[in-house]
Amino acid sequence: MKPRNREINIFNLSMLDVISGALGAFLIIMIVLFPYYKKESIDYQRQVEQLTQQLQQAQQQAAQVEQLQEENRQAKADAESLRQELETIRQNSGEANQQLETAREENQQLRQQLQSAQQQLAKTFLMIYISWETKSQDIDLHLIDPTGAEFYFDQRTHIGRAGFLSVDTVYGPGNEVWEIIDAPPGDYKVYVKLYNKGNNNAWPTVKGRVSSKDGNALLPEIRLDSVNQKVLMATVKVAEDGSIAIQ
């Protein structure tokens, strides 16, 4: 039998030693660096989680911003709608103010017309009439208006006064008339006077009446028993509303 070759190859053992040594050194380095590697890995995970949270927060903020933008757009739309409504209200208010002003003017005109109508209604004409039946006698009517102006045969009118003596009879039987178109309020005193008996010795009885917008009213009869003496027959009172009363 041929004996085995027990010769050892020096080169092969040296490579194994080198490889084994390198592997051991690598393992030692890995063991030394392993805690740092794990820590850095954990730090990276934390950073990823933080970034993920920040991203989520950023997305939430973006959603909120989008929502705020939408609300802002809606608010702008609402504001524009309100502005249009306000403009419409202003226009309607302007029209309403014009209508109100027109109504006020019409109301003022109506008030003026009503006041004018009331003033016209308050006005009254007066016609004071006296008469007597005795023949040949001259009886005179004397009328004193609220201003104190006296109207009679010798002063039938007064400057600045509306009334006048329209009828004057000299011989009876006869009548006399004083009239005014627009009688101011106040007292109108009616006097009669036997101016001349003529050839008639009888004492006359004088009758009379007042005509106004309210109709006719009789004056009290009066008997004259003296010549050239004024006797108060009646006082005709004209009120502010144009009504009359006889005293």
CATH code, domain with 212:
2.60.40
**Pair 26, 116 in one domain:** yes
Q: How far apart are CA 172 and CA 192, in angstroms?
A: 14
Residue 142: inside a domain, yes or no? yes
Residue 238's pLDDT is 94
Q: How far apart are CA 61 and CA 57, in angstroms?
A: 6
Q: Which domain holds residue 129?
A: 124-246
Residue 7's pLDDT is 52
Q: How far apart are CA 203 and CA 137, in angstroms?
A: 9
pLDDT (mean) for 60-84: 87
**Pair 100, 141 in one domain:** no
Tens of pLDDT along 2-42? 555 555 454 455 666 667 777 777 777 767 666 655 555 55
Tens of pLDDT along 179-219? 999 999 999 999 999 999 999 999 999 999 999 988 999 99
Residue 222: inside a domain, yes or no? yes
Tens of pLDDT along 91-142? 888 888 888 888 888 888 888 877 776 666 667 899 999 999 999 999 999 9
Residue 66's pLDDT is 84
46 or 158: which leads in pLDDT:
158
User: DSSP string covering 105-156, please?
Assistant: HHHHHHHHHHHHHHHHHH---EEEEEEE--TT-EEEEEEE-TT--EEBTTB-
* Band of residue 226 on the pLDDT scale cut at 50, 70, 90: very high
What are the distances in angstroms from CA 161 to CA 123, 128, 155, 191?
Answer: 16, 16, 12, 19
pLDDT at residue 167 is higher than 90: yes
Residue 139's pLDDT is 97
Residue that finishes a domain, picked among 103, 122, 141: 122
User: Ranked by mean pLDDT, which of 67-71, 75-79, 134-138 comes out on top?
Assistant: 134-138
Residue 169's pLDDT is 94
Which helix (H) or strand (E) is 211 found in, with range? strand 205-212
Residue 238: inside a domain, yes or no? yes
